[in-house]
Amino acid sequence: MKPHDPDQEIKRHNGGAHRKTVYQLVLASVLMFGFGFALVPLYDVFCEVTGLNGKVTRTGPVTLTVDQARTVRVQMIAVNNETMPWRFHAERNELVVHPGEDQLTAYHVHNPTGRWMLGQAVPSVSPAEAAQYLHKINCFCFEQQPLQAQESRQMPLLFVVDPALPAHIHTITLSYTLFDITPAQRTALNLEQAKRRVVL
């Protein structure tokens, strides 16, 4: 027998106490690993409550009374993310609206390239505080937008500003960033080939 087998030596000093401690600590580590992932949905809730990052999560139809006495300026911005080559701009740069009134406007897109592409618009509102008062009833950002080569489209946006908007906010900026989410080159080629075959 080895006189200094470490396990033997340790056991001499304290029965099975370690096992319990170790199990608890391993469990704690695993839980904290899970907690890291739980932060993702928690963060979304947090954003929704505080309007952080101007994320607009309120969607779907709403009925609100129109506040004729008050007007709010809504600026529309279009941003192209890095390599997104589409032409992308708002139909009108600015709208003056009454809170509670349904507003229909649109963004134009055009795919100037020679290939089929897929886009995704991501909305953001500034000031962030206003984000929770801007309801989008119907928005092109709800869905991915496919465009054929050289295709153009008018993408509608139906929104309403909540009359509960704090009085000190007079201007709301609504920005859309257009991302290129076309699947990686090889897949895109396959898709195109597949389409061509269908057409032929």
Which positions from 125 through 184 interact with other proteins, judged by CB under 8 A?
125-129, 150, 152, 168-171, 173, 175, 177, 179-182, 184
- C-alpha angle 60-132-153 in degrees, rounded to nearest 5: 50
Q: Are 127 and 157 within 8 A, CB to CB?
A: no
Q: Which of 55, 139, 145, 155 binds other proteins (CB under 8 A)?
A: 55
| Closer residue to other proteins (CB): 81 or 102 | 81
| Closer residue to other proteins (CB): 84 or 157 | 84
Q: Which of 45, 50, 148, 156 binds other proteins (CB under 8 A)?
A: 50
Ramachandran bin of 98, using left for φ above 0, alpha for ψ from -120 to 50, beta for the remaining angles: beta
Contact call for residue 53 and other proteins (CB under 8 A): yes
Q: Give the number of residues in contact with other proteins, rule: CB under 8 A.
A: 74
b/e per residue 137-157 (b: at least 16 CB within 10 A): bebbbeeebebeeeeebebeb
Q: Are 89 and 158 within 8 A, CB to CB?
A: no
| Closer residue to other proteins (CB): 70 or 179 | 179
Contact call for residue 70 and other proteins (CB under 8 A): no
| Closer residue to other proteins (CB): 122 or 137 | 122
Contact call for residue 32 and other proteins (CB under 8 A): yes
State the Cα–Cα distance between residues 58 and 114, nearest whole angstrom: 36
Q: Using the rule CB under 8 A, give the single segment among 9-17, 63-71, 95-103, 192-200 that binds other proteins.
A: 9-17
Tokens of 84: 């997104």
Helix (H, G, I), strand (E, B), or coil: what is residue 104?
Answer: strand
Q: Using the rule CB under 8 A, give the single segment among 62-70, 96-104, 113-121, 132-140 that binds other proteins.
A: 113-121
